[in-house]
Amino acid sequence: MKKYKIGIVVGRFQTLHTGHLHIIDELIDKCDIPIVVIGSSNKSRTPDNPFTIEERTSFLRTVYGTDITIFAVPDRKTVVNDNSWGEYLIEKLGFKPDVIISGDEPIRNSWFEKLNIKEEFIPKSDCGNISATKLRELMLAGNYDEWKEYIHPKLRSQFENMKKILEDIQKGNKYE
């Protein structure tokens, strides 16, 4: 029996990196039912959201297989990061988890305070202080050696494909 029955991690995972992996590993260690929620599931092929929900799901499945449950949640049509976002998420999931585990992001600290859901924050320093934005920049620069330091070995073969998607988006090309 683990500390919590149902726990969630929420992220866009627009390059699954070691910071995400650390938080997901904490989720798996602490929760009987670890659930990874992919946010902005309706967004793809933009500079901030280059990868499709299918690609992001594939990244997670490649690393974790069936050790996690994955939910996709689209953005709201209204402001995403306000205090009611936690309520929106719970409505979309259809259940209330026992805990949310996340990086200590100030914007997230108010999402669940009214919902009586335990929150556990992992300091960014424990997660390698890396961001998906930085990793996308490394890909566009062709800097595989630095990029791979933050990527699970099972995903490193995706570098050229992800780089091409980013380049096509940057050029304004439609990606097929």
pLDDT tens across 6-45, in order?
A: 999 999 999 899 999 999 999 999 999 999 999 999 999 9
First to last CA, the chain: 46
**CATH architecture type of domain 4-128:** 3-Layer(aba) Sandwich (3.40)
For the entire predicted model, the pTM comes to 0.90
Radius of gyration from C-alpha coordinates of the chain: 16
CB atoms inside a 10 Å sphere around CB 122: 18
Q: Which two tokens stand for residue 167?
A: 């380049």
Domain boundaries, the chain: 4-128
d(CA 135, CA 155): 13
